[in-house]
Amino acid sequence: MRRWVPSLGLLAYLAALVAGNEVQIKQDDEHRQRCSGMYSRKSWGGSIDPFILVKFLPDHTEDDSDPIASLIIFEWQDEPLIGRMPPGGESYRDLETICTTDTVAQGLCEEKDIGAFILAPNATEASRNPISNEAIHLKDPKAINYPIRRTGYYCVSTYAFSDHEYNGVVEFRNAYGELPAAQIAKLPFYGGLTIVYAVLGIFWAFLYFQNRSDILPVQNYITAIIIFLIVEQLMTWGFYDYQNRHGNNALNKIFMIIVSILNAGRNSFSFFLLLIVCMGYGVVKPSLGRTMIYVRILAAAHFVFGVIYAIASMAVTPESVGPLILFVILPLAGTMTAFYVWTLSSLNVTIKDLIDRKQKTKAMMYKKLSWCILGSVLVIFAFFFINSFAIAGSGSANFVPEHWQTRWFVLDGWLNIVYLFNIAFIAYLWRPTANNRRFAMSDELAQDDDGFEIRSIADSIEDDDEEAANARKDQERAVPPSGGGAASSLTDAIAHEPSPARRPSPAPALQNSTQAAPPSKPLNPPQPRMSLDGETIFAVGDEGIEWSDGEDEDSGDERKKLTGK
């Protein structure tokens, strides 16, 4: 029963200090040392001076023993000042770190320091920050308050000098509030993301309202995800702000579950939107049919598995993870893989179909989307390799102490920036504009630049003009000279008068006249057509002039009227 007393006391103390950034310390290797980044009051501001508070629970064992726990508080850069090499020592494994009667005999420490850590002889002068070194008597432990004057990565290390169990609590208290120093940068970061998404939503809402009568279904999905992102980022910022003000209490844990669910919803919604966009929904296809049902089922499954994974990651500690965790990870990995494969294959099929149908404008939209996805993948891999080299170069033990201020960005921040860029790029490509539906539901006129269509039309028309001109000359020679003076003078006028230029048209046409012209006024006969070289395929006829198969016969009748026969 007595062994439960310290544990119950520890739980009561943790409940009293739940508002702070506290961690437990005890004698096992995993919990005997606790480290955290700390900011000075000057760095982030705040209402109090930052400090580290260490308190051991008193030992209630009824005997005459005097159990001792060794305690040292130091900044990581001063860690080489802890311990001394005994005479004849060759490696760091021979380093003596705890003052005992044997080390006193070797001259490594003094008798008054028995139970404490051994420091280098010049530790006080050489250290960048003060080093607190104490031998804590567990029968009547005193609280140790270590003030923080400079920003750094501080550690609290303990050791069971008397081989006696002990329990304690370490509180890392920064000046600005209750958030750990490694996470305080998330507060302005998520606040800034909320503002950016809100500005993006304002621009999108303006375009949506301006073109509200011509909105595509896929643009409604984009509208929904932008609104969802604004709410999700606002809730995430609110979670960190609440924790900074009130600590990690029960309400904050509920807040964290809500944020985890929203994050799983964002991932599922994002995969769903990207997949239907790559399938051509709203731009290439007005509807996906039954395929939309399958896509929604996959998105719902991914959301459920994402929520289960988020809750499991909060409820399961790393040391208690067993093979059953695979039943949580594998389903989520399966749905994510299905989204990746389906999205990339759909994008390739859509681009190929548009290219085959010579829909160049729409194909370029989807090519830009593929470039965006490819660029994001390359950025992710590049960032991964850069961080891998950084970790390998600094060493696993020194990576966290040297990069604790930027570790949040490596683990979380930059992925949010890549996601923001992707969603903004998709919103730009599929933004509401005038004639949305006309663009989506119509096909671009396929044109091949083979260079023979217009030329062949022009050549055939010129050949027809030459044949018609030769026929008219033969007909004029066959007319007898008894046509009268008026007819002879009219014929001579027609033969000698220069022909005015006229607009080219696809086929020769004569200007029909229903009334006979006076003999004194010469008429202009039909002239050979000009070449169509250089005209576009859309300029193939003059307005008001029709094609006629019997044009040669009409020309003969008109000629007879002019000659009086």
Q: What is the pLDDT of residues 182-231, one digit of tens each?
A: 888 889 999 999 999 999 999 999 998 888 887 888 888 889 999 999 99
Residue 30 is predicted with a pLDDT of 82
For residue 255, the surrounding DSSP H or E stretch is helix 250-278
pTM above 0.85, yes or no: no
Report the topology of domain 21-82+119-173. Jelly Rolls (2.60.120)
Ordered DSSP codes for 377-410: HHHHHHHHHHHHHHHHHH-HHHHHHHHTTTHHII
Helix (H) or strand (E) segment spanning residue 308 = helix 290-315
The domain limits of the chain are: 21-82+119-173, 185-441
Question: Is pLDDT of 48 > 90?
Answer: no
Which amino acid appears at position 153 of this protein?
Y
Task: Give 332-351 pLDDT, tens digit per residue.
Answer: 888 888 888 888 888 888 88
pLDDT at 391 (0 to 100): 62
pLDDT per residue as tens digits for the range 133-174: 988 888 888 899 999 999 999 999 999 888 888 889 999 999
Q: Where does 148-236 show beta strands of DSSP type E?
A: 152-160, 167-173
Q: What is the pLDDT of residue 456?
A: 42
Burial class (CB in 10 A: 0-12, 13-18, 19+), 310: buried
Question: What is the distance between the alpha carbons of residues 362 and 355, in angstroms, rounded to a whole number?
Answer: 9
Contact status, residue 99 vs residue 114, Cβ threshold 8 Å: yes
* CA pair distance 36, 157, nearest whole angstrom: 12
pLDDT attached to residue 263:
86
Is residue 492 predicted with pLDDT exceeding 60?
A: no
> Which of these ranges, 48-62, 103-117, 435-449, has the smallest mean pLDDT?
435-449
Q: Which of 154-163, 228-237, 430-439 has the lowest mean pLDDT?
A: 430-439
Mean pLDDT across the stretch 541-549? Answer: 40
- pLDDT computed for residue 323 by the predictor: 62
- Give me the mean pLDDT over the 66-84 stretch: 89
Taken in order 222, 223, 227, 230, the sign of the CA dihedral is positive
* pLDDT higher than threshold 60 for residue 11: no
80/479: higher pLDDT: 80
3-state secondary structure of 506: coil
- pLDDT tens digit string along 260-269? 888 888 888 8
- Looking at the predicted structure, is the pLDDT value of residue 536 above 50? no
Return the pLDDT at 205.
93
How many CB atoms within 10 Å of residue 382? 10
| Choice among 39-53, 361-375, 442-456 with the minimum mean pLDDT | 442-456
CA geometry: angle 444, 445, 446, nearest 5 deg: 105
pLDDT > 90 in the chain, percent? 12
Per-residue pLDDT, averaged over 465-494, amounts to 52
Could you report the per-residue pLDDT of 87-127, keeping only the tens digit for each? 877 777 778 888 888 888 888 888 888 888 988 888 888 88
pLDDT at 285 over 50: yes
37 contacts 152 by C-beta, under 8 angstroms:
yes
Q: What is the pLDDT of residue 505?
A: 43
Residues 6+ apart with CB under 8 A from 306: 263, 264, 265, 267, 268, 332
